[in-house]
Amino acid sequence: MDIDKIGRTPLEQLMFYFGIPAGLVVFGAIMTMPTPLGIAHDGQVAMAVFALALILWVSKAVPNHVASLIVLILLSVLGGWSEKNALGVFGYDVIWLMVAAFVITSALAKSGFARRLALWLITTFGRTASSILLSMLIANFLIAFLVPSTTARAAIMLPIMLMVAHAYGVNEGNANMGKLLAIQGLQANNISTTAILTATAPQIMAVGLMKDLAGIQVSYTDWLVASAPIAVLTLLGSFFLGRFMYPPENVGGTVGGLDRLHAEYRNLGRLSAMEIKALTIFALTIGLWVTDKWHVAAFGFNISLVMVAVIAATLFFLPKVGILDWKEADIPWNLMIFSAGAYAGGLALDGSGVASWALNGLFASLGVTSMSFPVLFAVIMLIGSFSHFFFTSKVVRTVILIPTVIALAKATGINPIALALPVAFTLSDTITLPPHCKPNLIYYGSGFFSVLDQLFYGIGVLLIKWGLMLVASFTLFKVLDIT
């Protein structure tokens, strides 16, 4: 087992040694308890396997890809999910997208264009660690208006983030700077999505459900005015919380200071032929991602997000056209295995009905129908933000949360928009664990942070957003006539 003991905190050391025993105890307890009413045997197995995997991922008692292989084995052997489904996750689009994204990253790195772009960012905005982190947050927020896919935005920003990290010498010891670049990258991706109605399809679906089930009309501008201020303030909260949790090192000093970076940028000279090739293919990729809604009108067929990435990877490998050979593609296959196991565990929970059962049980146990509006609002927003622990799919969360919240509002005599629209702003709050959404997995591939880093940081940021939502319920939302 290639795990370095140096650098572990006492807590991490303790978790490492007790991770396997704790995971087995929890797994055994769930497997041997009476099957709860409302779920079947496959749901109980899925719940036990996912609990075991979560403990192993967080404790790092075994490498994450090994834990994911255990998930695939146990789900198949114990009947939590069929072997065909479990092993078939390797063919899911997220795996192919990640492979293609790392091929694109490898090509941009080889060409030197990514380094040029990173050096331009650093020398223009990056006089301090804070300024480069803020510039990356701003870039993430702005492209959310142009690219209606969290996964596509992660694939665009990952090469830039990796090259910024390399230029700052993150691999030479800037552990905290690496964590902030990667975790704030995935947080900016998902939190920015909540600001813009069209930034992800489930939010559009949520608006449709509100119209069909409650007669609520929500326009693009309505959503933007109500949600964007909260998203921006949450990103700022993420920035300051990150500085507190992981104070960034003096990054300029690790690579010889800002003057050296300026000199390196000037020495690059004009774009090389290889850079022009890489830039052309990358620009084509982004162009196809941004214009996906017009593909049918322009070509007569649609090219999916994943297929665009595969096309780009193919072009980079194509003789004469591309610039890579297979050995130069730095694809972290251990991450592919981890991703497959993580996705299989989450999908098994969804498919077996455990997630719906848990949410309904939570509402019933809390007695939400007897709460005052401020308390009810606080509870619903908390459940909305953290519901991704049970539902790995935004679509699943949407089709369960929105109708449930609308029905709850009607039962308690509250205007449905007061709960349904704010809870829709939490659908993309998936920032706590790598398997909770595709961008998380893509950024996790950087190797700059652990599962535990993301978990603690993500929970902190979501609690900041929850507090902002509570303040908005009697300020901004009240002015906009939502609450």
Both tokens of 428, joined, read 């993309």
What was the pLDDT predicted at 276?
A: 93
What was the pLDDT predicted at 251?
A: 57
What was the pLDDT predicted at 163?
A: 75
HSE-CB at 241 with a 13 A cutoff on CA atoms is 21
The answer to whether residue 235 scores a pLDDT higher than 80 is: yes
If pLDDT is split at 50, 70 and 90, which confidence band does 2 have? very low
Taking only the tens place, the pLDDT of each residue in 91-107 is: 877 678 778 877 887 88
Rounded CA-CA distance 194/148 in Å is 12
Rounded CA-CA distance 290/293 in Å is 8
To which H or E segment does residue 34 belong?
none
Rounded CA-CA distance 126/132 in Å is 4
Mean pLDDT is highest, among 30-34, 161-165, 194-198, 309-313, for 30-34
The answer to whether residue 239 scores a pLDDT higher than 90 is: yes
What was the pLDDT predicted at 128?
A: 78
Rounded CA-CA distance 325/339 in Å is 25
The answer to whether residue 33 scores a pLDDT higher than 80 is: yes
3-state helix, strand, coil in the chain (%, to 5): 75, 0, 25
The answer to whether residue 427 scores a pLDDT higher than 60 is: yes
What was the pLDDT predicted at 159?
A: 77
Average the pLDDT over 411-424 and give the result.
89
Taking only the tens place, the pLDDT of each residue in 266-306 is: 888 888 999 999 889 988 987 887 787 788 888 999 888 78
Rounded CA-CA distance 267/250 in Å is 24
What was the pLDDT predicted at 409?
A: 83
Q: CA distances (Å), 292 to each of 193, 280, 287, 363, in order? A: 17, 18, 9, 39
If pLDDT is split at 50, 70 and 90, which confidence band does 192 have? very high
Both tokens of 32, joined, read 């041997």
Domain ranges of the chain: 1-87, 93-200+219-328
The answer to whether residue 333 scores a pLDDT higher than 60 is: yes
Task: Specify the length of the chain in residues.
Answer: 483
The answer to whether residue 313 scores a pLDDT higher than 70 is: yes
| Nearest CA-CA partner of 368 in 354, 384, 353, 352 | 384
Question: What single DSSP character describes residue 36?
Answer: P
Average the pLDDT over 13-36 and give the result.
92
The answer to whether residue 469 scores a pLDDT higher than 70 is: yes
What was the pLDDT predicted at 255?
A: 44
Average the pLDDT over 34-58 and give the result.
88
Burial 157-173 (b: 16+ CB within 10 A, else e): bbbbbbbbbbbbbbeee
What was the pLDDT predicted at 4?
A: 42
Average pLDDT of every residue of the chain: 83
Rounded CA-CA distance 128/277 in Å is 32
What was the pLDDT predicted at 356?
A: 65
What was the pLDDT predicted at 252?
A: 53
What was the pLDDT predicted at 5?
A: 45
Q: CA distances (Å), 478 to each of 66, 165, 196, in order? A: 50, 43, 20
Taking only the tens place, the pLDDT of each residue in 348-390 is: 876 787 766 776 676 677 776 677 889 889 999 998 999 888 7
Give every CB contact of residue 408 below 8 A, 6+ residues apart in sequence: 363, 368, 369, 380, 419
Taking only the tens place, the pLDDT of each residue in 118-144 is: 667 767 776 678 888 888 888 888 877
Helices (H) and strands (E) in the chain, counts: 24, 0
The answer to whether residue 151 scores a pLDDT higher than 60 is: yes
Q: CA distances (Å), 115 to each of 9, 50, 166, in order? A: 33, 39, 8
Rounded CA-CA distance 465/446 in Å is 26
Mean pLDDT is highest, among 5-19, 23-37, 285-299, 302-316, for 23-37
Both tokens of 363, joined, read 């509402």
Average the pLDDT over 339-347 and give the result.
77
What was the pLDDT predicted at 74?
A: 96
Integer distance in angstroms from the first to the last C-alpha of the chain?
A: 54
| Range from 20-34, 233-247, 323-337 carrying the lowest mean pLDDT | 323-337
**Site of tokens 């795996």:** 95
Structural contact between residues 180 and 242, judged by C-beta atoms closer than 8 angstroms: yes
Rounded CA-CA distance 91/87 in Å is 8
CB atoms within 10 A of CB 263: 12
The answer to whether residue 1 scores a pLDDT higher than 50 is: no
| Nearest CA-CA partner of 414 in 465, 364, 463, 380 | 380
If pLDDT is split at 50, 70 and 90, which confidence band does 200 have? confident
Radius of gyration for the chain, computed over Cα atoms and rounded to the nearest angstrom: 23
Give 217: exposed, middle or buried? Use CB within 10 Å, 0-12, 13-18, 19+. exposed
Q: Which residue has the higher pLDDT, 318 or 116?
A: 318
